[in-house]
């Protein structure tokens, strides 16, 4: 079995979802949850984009320990410097530097010739290497790039020190067979490609992000990028919870596995939805409200006889507990603690006491305390830090 590394970009590409703007505290809480979820790499943000994002990336890099933390940089020195300053105290820092390689992007956006793009890419990887051991290099719009040119530039950035090569389907244009063929071509035509991780990064404009991610691993990708709930630029990115659950459920079919802690999925999904304000559609695979609901009489009858008739994933696998606790004025500290752990928070004893007092005060005014109420209490408590 081959391990597929999970690269989460909820805090960077996910935050690029229209209308989404996470504050520092929200990013930090999400980062801690992503660590519990067991992702291998988290892209905490784009440090050069704003002071707020720089601070958020730095804060995350200094807090999470069991995961590699990366930040995005354009192929310019000032972006790489900002990444270095934000990430230098991380346990396992990674630079993620990108440049566009498709004819459309090179001509209209970068206004550079292909040779100039190669020169810039190589120089910036060499520069990054003076500050980082791990360098992920992305060929933006790789899926609309001439394959011979793509192979040539990849060979050169590997020689310059890149340790991960990412080939994004930036505009979600490619079909699975086509995307897989690109990976196969690169595997077969780039010397030293086996010395680096090959990564896919798929957008969902035509609804192909998940299928394309599978096509990539079938053809040599060892890292899959995506976001929780599939949020992201335009129609979003590949949904990491769908990817990891599909790998797990179909281990009879695929010789691959990931280290994602599946029972942390529901909690991660709820947190992302709360903090971004992006409601998860009811029919969304794995985490949608209806993903485990059975409506038709025939299905209900089958499930009652044996759940596996219509249920290929158990709710417990992804951390959905059927005995949902309802909190009110009679609830004690134990149930309260249980519930906030379910929501993804692990508070030190002092903070827990403070949150419990705020909760009790609220129960005098409200019959039933909802998850939203709890999130509000927890956000207040955390802001006090």
Which residues lie near Zn ion (CB under 5 A)? 13
Of the candidate residues 7, 54, 84, 98, the single one contacting ligand KIV (CB under 6 A): 98
Of the candidate residues 26, 53, 140, 241, the single one contacting ligand KIV (CB under 6 A): 140
Per the annotation, does 294 bind a ligand?
A: no
Q: In what helix (H) or strand (E) does residue 115 lie, and over which residues does it extend?
A: helix 114-129
CA atoms of 298 and 42, how far apart (whole Å): 43
Give the distance, in angstroms, between the CA of residue 186 and the centroid of all CA atoms in the same chain. 24
8 A C-beta contact, residue 268 and residue 241: yes
Position of minimal CB gap to Zn ion: 13
8 A C-beta contact, residue 158 and residue 116: no
* Phi/psi at 109 (5° precision): -90, -55
- If contact means CB under 5 to 8 A according to the sort of partner, which of Zn ion, ligand KIV, none does residue 359 touch? none
- If contact means CB under 5 to 8 A according to the sort of partner, which of Zn ion, ligand KIV, none does residue 140 touch? ligand KIV
CA atoms of 34 and 357, how far apart (whole Å): 28
Per the annotation, does 105 bind a ligand?
A: no
Of the candidate residues 8, 13, 53, 241, the single one contacting ligand KIV (CB under 6 A): 13
**DSSP assignment letter at 134:** E
x-or-dash string of contact with ligand KIV, 177-206, rule CB under 6 A: ------------------------x-x---
Per the annotation, does 229 bind a ligand?
A: no
Nearer to ligand KIV, 109 or 250 (CB): 109
Nearer to ligand KIV, 138 or 213 (CB): 138
Alpha-carbon separation of residue 247 from 38, 206, 265, 341, 363 (angstroms): 15, 22, 14, 27, 43
Tell me the closest approach of the beta carbon of residue 191 to ligand KIV, in angstroms. 24
Q: Determine the size of the site formed for ligand KIV (CB under 6 A).
A: 8
Query: DSSP strand E in the chain: where?
Result: 2-3, 5-8, 41-45, 68-74, 93-100, 134-140, 164-169, 197-202, 223-226, 256-257
**CA distance between the termini of the chain:** 44
Tell me the closest approach of the beta carbon of residue 367 to Zn ion, in angstroms. 44
Nearer to ligand KIV, 150 or 381 (CB): 150
Tokens at 9, concatenated = 């970009």
Nearer to Zn ion, 13 or 242 (CB): 13
x-or-dash string of contact with ligand KIV, 150-169, rule CB under 6 A: ------------------x-
- If contact means CB under 5 to 8 A according to the sort of partner, which of Zn ion, ligand KIV, none does residue 84 touch? none
Alpha-carbon separation of residue 366 from 42, 76, 373, 380, 381 (angstroms): 38, 54, 10, 18, 19
Nearer to Zn ion, 7 or 292 (CB): 7
Number of residues written out for the chain: 385
Per the annotation, does 21 bind a ligand?
A: no
- If contact means CB under 5 to 8 A according to the sort of partner, which of ligand KIV, Zn ion, none does residue 98 touch? ligand KIV
Tell me the closest approach of the beta carbon of residue 376 to Zn ion, in angstroms. 32
Residue with tokens 């990491």: 240
Of 247-276, binders to ligand KIV (CB under 6 A) are none
Binding-site residue numbers for Mn(2+) are 13, 201, 203, 237
Where does this chain bind ligand KIV (CB under 6 A)? Answer: 13, 98, 138, 140, 168, 170, 201, 203
């Amino acid at each position: 079995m081959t391990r597929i590394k999970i690269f989460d970009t909820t805090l960077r590409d996910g935050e690029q979802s229209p209308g989404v703007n996470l504050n520092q505290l929200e990013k930090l809480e999400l980062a801690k949850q992503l660590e519990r979820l067991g992702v291998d790499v988290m892209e905490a943000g784009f440090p050069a984009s704003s002071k707020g994002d720089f601070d958020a990336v730095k804060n995350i890099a200094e807090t999470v320990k069991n995961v590699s933390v990366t930040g995005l940089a354009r192929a310019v020195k000032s972006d790489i410097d900002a990444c270095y300053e934000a990430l230098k105290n991380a346990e396992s820092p990674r630079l993620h530097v990108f440049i566009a390689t498709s004819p459309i992007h090179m001509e209209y956006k970068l206004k550079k010739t292909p040779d100039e793009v190669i020169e810039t890419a190589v120089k910036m990887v060499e520069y990054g290497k003076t500050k980082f051991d791990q360098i992920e290099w992305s060929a933006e719009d790789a899926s609309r790039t001439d394959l011979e040119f793509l192979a040539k530039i990849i060979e050169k950035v590997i020689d310059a020190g890149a340790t991960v090569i990412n080939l994004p389907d930036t505009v979600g244009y490619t079909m699975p067979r086509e995307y897989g063929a690109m990976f196969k071509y690169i595997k077969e035509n780039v010397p030293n490609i086996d010395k680096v991780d090959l990564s896919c990064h798929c957008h969902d404009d035509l609804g192909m992000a998940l299928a394309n991610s599978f096509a990539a691993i079938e053809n040599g990708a060892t890292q899959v990028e995506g976001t929780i709930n599939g949020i992201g630029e335009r129609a979003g990115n590949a949904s990491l919870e769908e990817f990891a659950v599909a790998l797990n459920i179909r281990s009879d079919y695929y010789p691959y596995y990931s280290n994602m802690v599946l029972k942390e999925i529901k909690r991660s999904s709820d947190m992302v939805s709360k903090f971004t304000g992006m409601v998860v559609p009811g029919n969304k695979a794995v985490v949608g409200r209806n993903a485990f609901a059975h409506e038709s009489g025939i299905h209900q009858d089958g499930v009652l006889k044996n759940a596996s008739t219509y249920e290929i994933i158990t709710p417990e696998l992804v951390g959905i507990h059927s005995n949902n606790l309802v909190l009110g004025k009679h609830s004690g500290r134990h149930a309260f603690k249980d519930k906030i752990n379910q929501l993804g928070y692990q508070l030190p004893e002092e903070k827990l006491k403070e949150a419990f007092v705020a909760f009790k005060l609220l129960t005098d005014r409200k019959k039933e305390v909802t998850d939203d109420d709890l999130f509000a209490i927890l956000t207040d408590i955390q802001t006090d830090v």
